[in-house]
Amino acid sequence: MRNASPTPRTAQEDDDFLASVRAGLRRRPRTIPPKYFYDAHGSQLFDLICTTPEYYPTRTETGILERHGAEMAARIGASCVLIELGSGSATKTPLLLQHLADDAVYVPIDICEPHLLKSTQRLQNMFPSMKMQPLCTDYHRLHAHALKRHAGRRHAVFFPGSTIGNCTPGNAVHLLRHAAKLVGPGGGLLIGVDCKKSPDTLHAAYNDAAGHTAAFNLNLLTRMQRELGAQLNATQFAHHAYYNEALGRIEMHLVSRCRQEIRLGKESFTFDAGESIHTENSYKYTAQEFQRLACAAGWQPETVWSDGNGWFNVHYLRANQEMGARLSALPARHGRCSPTPAG
Ligand code: AVI
Protein backbone atom coordinates (compact mmCIF):
# COMPACT_ATOMS: atom_id res chain seq x y z
CA MET A 1 0.00 0.00 0.00
CA ARG A 2 2.83 2.33 -0.72
CA ASN A 3 1.33 4.44 -3.45
CA ALA A 4 -1.81 6.33 -2.66
CA SER A 5 -4.80 6.99 -4.76
CA PRO A 6 -5.25 10.30 -6.57
CA THR A 7 -8.87 9.21 -7.20
CA PRO A 8 -11.84 10.39 -5.11
CA ARG A 9 -12.01 8.57 -1.80
CA THR A 10 -14.97 6.42 -0.92
CA ALA A 11 -17.14 7.03 2.15
CA GLN A 12 -15.72 3.78 3.56
CA GLU A 13 -12.16 5.12 3.24
CA ASP A 14 -13.16 8.38 4.93
CA ASP A 15 -14.79 6.44 7.75
CA ASP A 16 -11.72 4.22 8.19
CA PHE A 17 -9.42 7.24 8.40
CA LEU A 18 -11.69 9.08 10.82
CA ALA A 19 -12.22 6.02 13.02
CA SER A 20 -8.48 5.21 13.06
CA VAL A 21 -7.46 8.77 13.94
CA ARG A 22 -10.12 9.10 16.62
CA ALA A 23 -9.22 5.77 18.23
CA GLY A 24 -5.49 6.50 17.90
CA LEU A 25 -5.71 9.90 19.58
CA ARG A 26 -7.74 8.49 22.47
CA ARG A 27 -5.09 5.80 23.08
CA ARG A 28 -1.95 6.26 25.20
CA PRO A 29 0.65 6.44 23.74
CA ARG A 30 -1.18 8.06 20.82
CA THR A 31 -0.83 6.29 17.47
CA ILE A 32 -1.97 6.66 13.86
CA PRO A 33 -1.37 3.75 11.42
CA PRO A 34 1.31 4.43 8.77
CA LYS A 35 -0.97 3.42 5.89
CA TYR A 36 -2.50 6.91 6.13
CA PHE A 37 0.80 8.51 5.03
CA TYR A 38 0.02 7.56 1.45
CA ASP A 39 -2.38 10.11 0.03
CA ALA A 40 -1.32 11.55 -3.35
CA HIS A 41 1.11 14.04 -1.76
CA GLY A 42 2.43 11.51 0.74
CA SER A 43 3.16 9.07 -2.09
CA GLN A 44 5.12 11.76 -3.95
CA LEU A 45 7.06 12.50 -0.78
CA PHE A 46 7.81 8.80 -0.33
CA ASP A 47 9.19 8.67 -3.90
CA LEU A 48 11.40 11.67 -3.01
CA ILE A 49 12.62 9.96 0.17
CA CYS A 50 13.73 7.01 -1.99
CA THR A 51 15.99 9.33 -4.02
CA THR A 52 17.82 10.90 -1.05
CA PRO A 53 21.46 9.93 -0.42
CA GLU A 54 20.58 8.98 3.18
CA TYR A 55 17.72 6.55 2.38
CA TYR A 56 19.83 3.53 1.36
CA PRO A 57 17.10 0.77 1.24
CA THR A 58 15.77 1.51 -2.26
CA ARG A 59 19.08 1.72 -4.09
CA THR A 60 20.58 -1.14 -2.06
CA GLU A 61 17.72 -3.52 -2.82
CA THR A 62 17.77 -2.41 -6.47
CA GLY A 63 21.49 -3.25 -6.63
CA ILE A 64 20.85 -6.74 -5.20
CA LEU A 65 18.09 -7.38 -7.76
CA GLU A 66 20.33 -6.11 -10.58
CA ARG A 67 23.14 -8.46 -9.56
CA HIS A 68 21.13 -11.55 -8.65
CA GLY A 69 17.83 -11.24 -10.58
CA ALA A 70 18.73 -14.15 -12.88
CA GLU A 71 19.48 -16.47 -9.94
CA MET A 72 16.28 -15.41 -8.20
CA ALA A 73 14.21 -16.15 -11.30
CA ALA A 74 15.90 -19.55 -11.60
CA ARG A 75 15.05 -20.33 -7.95
CA ILE A 76 11.42 -19.40 -8.44
CA GLY A 77 11.17 -21.26 -11.76
CA ALA A 78 11.03 -19.28 -14.97
CA SER A 79 7.48 -20.34 -15.94
CA CYS A 80 5.95 -19.31 -12.63
CA VAL A 81 2.99 -17.21 -11.54
CA LEU A 82 4.53 -14.17 -9.83
CA ILE A 83 2.21 -12.34 -7.42
CA GLU A 84 3.46 -8.91 -6.32
CA LEU A 85 1.89 -7.57 -3.11
CA GLY A 86 1.32 -3.79 -3.00
CA SER A 87 2.95 -3.43 -6.41
CA GLY A 88 2.54 0.39 -6.55
CA SER A 89 4.71 1.80 -9.32
CA ALA A 90 6.57 -1.56 -9.57
CA THR A 91 9.89 0.10 -10.33
CA LYS A 92 12.05 -2.88 -9.26
CA THR A 93 9.85 -5.51 -10.90
CA PRO A 94 11.46 -5.43 -14.40
CA LEU A 95 14.72 -6.53 -12.78
CA LEU A 96 13.03 -9.84 -12.06
CA LEU A 97 10.59 -10.09 -14.98
CA GLN A 98 13.42 -9.79 -17.52
CA HIS A 99 14.72 -13.17 -16.32
CA LEU A 100 11.37 -14.99 -16.33
CA ALA A 101 10.12 -16.97 -19.33
CA ASP A 102 7.64 -15.39 -21.72
CA ASP A 103 4.96 -17.81 -20.58
CA ALA A 104 5.26 -16.63 -16.93
CA VAL A 105 2.18 -14.93 -15.51
CA TYR A 106 2.54 -11.68 -13.54
CA VAL A 107 -0.19 -10.76 -11.02
CA PRO A 108 0.36 -7.29 -9.53
CA ILE A 109 -1.93 -6.52 -6.59
CA ASP A 110 -2.56 -3.00 -5.39
CA ILE A 111 -5.38 -1.10 -3.74
CA CYS A 112 -5.02 1.91 -6.06
CA GLU A 113 -6.57 1.10 -9.43
CA PRO A 114 -5.14 3.96 -11.57
CA HIS A 115 -1.67 3.30 -10.23
CA LEU A 116 -2.06 -0.44 -10.78
CA LEU A 117 -3.29 -0.08 -14.36
CA LYS A 118 -0.64 2.49 -15.26
CA SER A 119 2.28 0.45 -13.95
CA THR A 120 0.90 -2.79 -15.46
CA GLN A 121 0.62 -1.07 -18.84
CA ARG A 122 4.21 0.12 -18.55
CA LEU A 123 5.38 -3.43 -17.75
CA GLN A 124 3.22 -4.92 -20.51
CA ASN A 125 4.94 -2.58 -22.99
CA MET A 126 8.31 -3.79 -21.75
CA PHE A 127 7.31 -7.48 -21.77
CA PRO A 128 4.66 -7.78 -24.52
CA SER A 129 4.44 -11.60 -24.51
CA MET A 130 4.02 -12.00 -20.78
CA LYS A 131 0.51 -12.54 -19.42
CA MET A 132 -0.38 -9.89 -16.83
CA GLN A 133 -3.42 -10.13 -14.57
CA PRO A 134 -3.65 -7.01 -12.36
CA LEU A 135 -5.85 -7.35 -9.30
CA CYS A 136 -7.15 -4.24 -7.54
CA THR A 137 -7.63 -5.10 -3.88
CA ASP A 138 -6.14 -4.76 -0.42
CA TYR A 139 -3.73 -7.70 -0.35
CA HIS A 140 -4.31 -8.18 3.38
CA ARG A 141 -7.89 -9.08 2.60
CA LEU A 142 -7.29 -11.13 -0.51
CA HIS A 143 -8.44 -14.71 -0.07
CA ALA A 144 -6.41 -17.45 -1.79
CA HIS A 145 -9.59 -18.64 -3.57
CA ALA A 146 -9.91 -15.25 -5.28
CA LEU A 147 -6.60 -15.85 -7.07
CA LYS A 148 -6.82 -17.64 -10.39
CA ARG A 149 -4.74 -20.84 -10.03
CA HIS A 150 -2.55 -21.91 -12.92
CA ALA A 151 -2.25 -25.68 -12.69
CA GLY A 152 1.23 -27.14 -12.96
CA ARG A 153 3.04 -23.86 -12.25
CA ARG A 154 4.76 -22.68 -9.12
CA HIS A 155 3.11 -19.64 -7.56
CA ALA A 156 5.44 -17.16 -5.86
CA VAL A 157 4.90 -13.93 -3.94
CA PHE A 158 7.22 -10.97 -4.60
CA PHE A 159 7.23 -8.47 -1.70
CA PRO A 160 10.13 -6.01 -2.07
CA GLY A 161 10.84 -2.73 -0.25
CA SER A 162 11.02 -4.08 3.32
CA THR A 163 7.35 -3.18 3.78
CA ILE A 164 7.21 -6.20 6.12
CA GLY A 165 9.28 -4.04 8.52
CA ASN A 166 6.29 -1.73 9.02
CA CYS A 167 4.42 -4.60 10.74
CA THR A 168 5.04 -5.58 14.33
CA PRO A 169 6.77 -8.99 14.45
CA GLY A 170 3.47 -10.62 15.45
CA ASN A 171 1.64 -9.06 12.52
CA ALA A 172 4.53 -9.93 10.21
CA VAL A 173 4.00 -13.61 11.06
CA HIS A 174 0.28 -13.28 10.21
CA LEU A 175 1.08 -11.59 6.90
CA LEU A 176 3.72 -14.20 6.01
CA ARG A 177 1.23 -16.96 6.85
CA HIS A 178 -1.26 -15.25 4.56
CA ALA A 179 1.36 -15.21 1.78
CA ALA A 180 1.91 -18.97 2.30
CA LYS A 181 -1.80 -19.54 1.79
CA LEU A 182 -1.77 -17.46 -1.40
CA VAL A 183 0.99 -19.52 -3.05
CA GLY A 184 0.02 -22.92 -1.60
CA PRO A 185 2.38 -25.77 -0.56
CA GLY A 186 5.73 -25.63 -2.38
CA GLY A 187 5.15 -22.04 -3.50
CA GLY A 188 7.82 -19.34 -3.20
CA LEU A 189 8.37 -16.01 -1.48
CA LEU A 190 10.93 -13.43 -2.60
CA ILE A 191 11.00 -10.69 0.01
CA GLY A 192 13.19 -7.65 0.71
CA VAL A 193 14.11 -7.09 4.38
CA ASP A 194 16.11 -4.18 5.79
CA CYS A 195 18.86 -5.19 8.23
CA LYS A 196 20.08 -3.99 11.61
CA LYS A 197 23.06 -1.68 11.23
CA SER A 198 24.80 1.31 12.82
CA PRO A 199 22.25 3.56 14.58
CA ASP A 200 23.89 6.58 12.85
CA THR A 201 23.16 5.18 9.39
CA LEU A 202 19.60 4.36 10.39
CA HIS A 203 19.08 7.74 12.01
CA ALA A 204 20.28 9.55 8.88
CA ALA A 205 18.00 7.48 6.62
CA TYR A 206 14.91 8.68 8.52
CA ASN A 207 16.15 12.26 9.03
CA ASP A 208 17.31 13.24 5.53
CA ALA A 209 18.89 16.67 5.18
CA ALA A 210 16.41 17.75 2.48
CA GLY A 211 13.58 17.25 4.99
CA HIS A 212 11.48 14.90 2.82
CA THR A 213 10.93 12.39 5.65
CA ALA A 214 9.88 15.20 7.99
CA ALA A 215 7.45 16.51 5.35
CA PHE A 216 6.14 12.95 4.81
CA ASN A 217 5.45 12.55 8.54
CA LEU A 218 3.93 16.04 8.97
CA ASN A 219 1.73 15.55 5.87
CA LEU A 220 -0.40 13.25 8.03
CA LEU A 221 -1.54 16.32 10.01
CA THR A 222 -2.31 18.27 6.84
CA ARG A 223 -4.30 15.30 5.58
CA MET A 224 -6.29 15.23 8.85
CA GLN A 225 -7.08 18.94 8.44
CA ARG A 226 -8.12 18.59 4.80
CA GLU A 227 -10.03 15.32 4.90
CA LEU A 228 -11.39 15.19 8.46
CA GLY A 229 -11.72 18.91 9.20
CA ALA A 230 -9.36 18.49 12.17
CA GLN A 231 -8.46 21.78 13.83
CA LEU A 232 -4.76 21.80 14.68
CA ASN A 233 -1.61 23.81 14.21
CA ALA A 234 0.74 21.61 12.15
CA THR A 235 3.66 24.02 12.64
CA GLN A 236 3.51 23.25 16.36
CA PHE A 237 4.41 19.60 15.74
CA ALA A 238 7.91 18.34 14.95
CA HIS A 239 9.10 15.23 13.08
CA HIS A 240 11.03 12.90 15.37
CA ALA A 241 12.60 9.64 14.14
CA TYR A 242 15.07 7.57 16.12
CA TYR A 243 16.39 4.04 16.32
CA ASN A 244 15.00 2.14 19.29
CA GLU A 245 17.86 -0.31 19.62
CA ALA A 246 16.19 -2.45 22.29
CA LEU A 247 13.24 -3.15 19.98
CA GLY A 248 15.28 -3.14 16.75
CA ARG A 249 13.10 -0.56 15.06
CA ILE A 250 13.05 2.98 13.80
CA GLU A 251 10.17 4.87 15.42
CA MET A 252 8.62 7.91 13.83
CA HIS A 253 6.66 10.36 15.95
CA LEU A 254 4.98 13.74 15.64
CA VAL A 255 5.99 15.60 18.79
CA SER A 256 4.02 18.54 20.13
CA ARG A 257 6.23 21.62 20.55
CA CYS A 258 3.90 23.14 23.16
CA ARG A 259 0.73 22.51 25.15
CA GLN A 260 -2.04 22.54 22.56
CA GLU A 261 -5.22 20.89 21.34
CA ILE A 262 -6.34 18.95 18.31
CA ARG A 263 -10.09 19.24 17.69
CA LEU A 264 -11.84 16.51 15.79
CA GLY A 265 -15.58 16.98 15.47
CA LYS A 266 -16.90 17.51 18.98
CA GLU A 267 -13.88 15.91 20.61
CA SER A 268 -10.78 17.73 21.80
CA PHE A 269 -7.39 16.11 22.46
CA THR A 270 -4.95 17.96 24.68
CA PHE A 271 -1.21 17.54 24.13
CA ASP A 272 1.45 18.54 26.62
CA ALA A 273 4.72 19.91 25.25
CA GLY A 274 6.83 16.89 24.23
CA GLU A 275 3.85 14.54 23.94
CA SER A 276 3.84 12.58 20.69
CA ILE A 277 1.73 10.71 18.16
CA HIS A 278 3.52 7.49 17.19
CA THR A 279 3.12 7.23 13.40
CA GLU A 280 5.38 4.41 12.21
CA ASN A 281 7.67 1.53 13.17
CA SER A 282 10.23 0.21 10.75
CA TYR A 283 11.67 -3.04 12.11
CA LYS A 284 15.18 -4.11 11.09
CA TYR A 285 16.07 -7.81 11.07
CA THR A 286 19.21 -9.91 10.87
CA ALA A 287 18.86 -12.75 8.35
CA GLN A 288 18.42 -15.22 11.22
CA GLU A 289 15.77 -13.13 12.99
CA PHE A 290 13.71 -12.83 9.83
CA GLN A 291 14.06 -16.53 9.03
CA ARG A 292 12.80 -17.36 12.52
CA LEU A 293 9.64 -15.31 11.87
CA ALA A 294 9.22 -16.88 8.45
CA CYS A 295 9.61 -20.42 9.85
CA ALA A 296 6.87 -19.68 12.40
CA ALA A 297 4.67 -18.71 9.45
CA GLY A 298 5.19 -21.94 7.49
CA TRP A 299 8.18 -21.03 5.30
CA GLN A 300 11.42 -22.87 4.71
CA PRO A 301 14.40 -20.52 4.13
CA GLU A 302 16.35 -21.32 0.95
CA THR A 303 18.61 -18.44 -0.15
CA VAL A 304 19.57 -14.97 1.07
CA TRP A 305 21.18 -12.39 -1.21
CA SER A 306 22.80 -9.32 0.32
CA ASP A 307 24.80 -6.21 -0.61
CA GLY A 308 28.49 -5.73 0.15
CA ASN A 309 27.77 -3.87 3.41
CA GLY A 310 25.22 -6.38 4.67
CA TRP A 311 22.64 -3.58 4.90
CA PHE A 312 19.75 -5.23 3.10
CA ASN A 313 18.69 -8.84 2.43
CA VAL A 314 16.51 -10.38 -0.23
CA HIS A 315 15.26 -13.77 0.98
CA TYR A 316 13.87 -16.65 -1.05
CA LEU A 317 11.73 -19.09 0.93
CA ARG A 318 9.58 -22.08 0.09
CA ALA A 319 6.13 -22.74 1.62
CA ASN A 320 6.12 -25.94 3.68
CA GLN A 321 4.11 -28.81 2.24
CA GLU A 322 2.36 -29.72 5.52
CA MET A 323 2.02 -26.17 6.85
CA GLY A 324 0.63 -24.99 3.52
CA ALA A 325 -1.93 -27.78 3.56
CA ARG A 326 -2.86 -27.13 7.18
CA LEU A 327 -3.09 -23.36 6.69
CA SER A 328 -5.31 -23.52 3.66
CA ALA A 329 -7.87 -25.26 5.87
CA LEU A 330 -7.85 -22.37 8.34
CA PRO A 331 -10.20 -19.39 8.13
CA ALA A 332 -8.46 -16.19 6.94
CA ARG A 333 -6.86 -14.09 9.66
CA HIS A 334 -4.71 -11.38 8.19
CA GLY A 335 -1.97 -9.35 9.82
CA ARG A 336 -2.18 -5.60 9.41
CA CYS A 337 0.82 -3.34 8.97
CA SER A 338 0.19 -0.83 11.68
CA PRO A 339 2.31 0.37 14.54
CA THR A 340 1.46 -0.62 18.05
CA PRO A 341 3.11 1.19 20.93
CA ALA A 342 4.97 -1.69 22.50
CA GLY A 343 5.18 -3.95 19.41
C1 AVI B 1 7.56 1.68 3.10
N2 AVI B 1 8.50 1.48 4.21
C3 AVI B 1 9.27 0.25 4.02
C4 AVI B 1 9.36 2.66 4.50
C5 AVI B 1 10.34 2.34 5.65
O6 AVI B 1 11.54 2.56 5.48
O7 AVI B 1 9.88 1.85 6.69
C8 AVI B 1 8.52 3.87 4.85
C9 AVI B 1 9.34 5.07 5.27
N10 AVI B 1 9.12 5.80 6.34
C11 AVI B 1 10.00 6.78 6.40
N12 AVI B 1 10.82 6.66 5.37
C13 AVI B 1 10.42 5.59 4.64
Please tell me the predicted confidence (pLDDT) of residue 15.
74
35, 38, 46, best to mutate for ligand 1 pocket (most atoms within 8 Å of CB): 46
| Residue 341, pLDDT above cutoff 80 | no
CA 193 / ligand 1 centre spacing (Å): 12
Average pLDDT over residues 300-329: 84
What is the DSSP track for 140-186?
TT--GGGSPP-TTS-EEEEE-TTGGGGS-HHHHHHHHHHHHHHH-TT
CA dist 216 and 219 (Å) reads 5
| Residue 334, pLDDT above cutoff 60 | no
Q: Tell me the three state secondary structure of residue 252.
A: strand
Pick the range with the lowest mean pLDDT from 1-10, 146-155, 238-247, 272-281: 1-10
Please tell me the predicted confidence (pLDDT) of residue 9.
59
Phi, psi dihedrals of residue 83, rounded to the nearest 5°: -110, 115
Please tell me the predicted confidence (pLDDT) of residue 2.
41
The confidence band for 127, taking pLDDT boundaries of 50, 70 and 90, is very high
Contact by Cβ (8 Å): 154, 81: yes
For atom 2 of ligand 1, which residue has the closest CA?
Answer: 163
CA 282 / ligand 1 centre spacing (Å): 7
Average pLDDT over residues 23-51: 93
Distances (CA, A) of 272 to 1, 30, 31: 32, 12, 15
The confidence band for 142, taking pLDDT boundaries of 50, 70 and 90, is confident
User: Quick one: which atom of ligand 1 is closest to the CA of 46?
Assistant: 13
- Residues touching ligand 1 (Cβ under 6 Å) are 2, 49, 57, 161-163, 165-166, 206, 213, 280, 282
The confidence band for 94, taking pLDDT boundaries of 50, 70 and 90, is very high
For atom 4 of ligand 1, which residue has the closest CA?
Answer: 163
pTM: 0.90
The pLDDT > 70 percentage for the chain reads 90
Average pLDDT over residues 81-103: 95
CA dist 62 and 68 (Å) reads 10
User: Quick one: which atom of ligand 1 is closest to the CA of 57?
Assistant: 6
1, 38, 166, 283, best to mutate for ligand 1 pocket (most atoms within 8 Å of CB): 166
CA 208 / ligand 1 centre spacing (Å): 12
Average pLDDT over residues 328-335: 38
For atom 3 of ligand 1, which residue has the closest CA?
Answer: 163
CA 290 / ligand 1 centre spacing (Å): 18
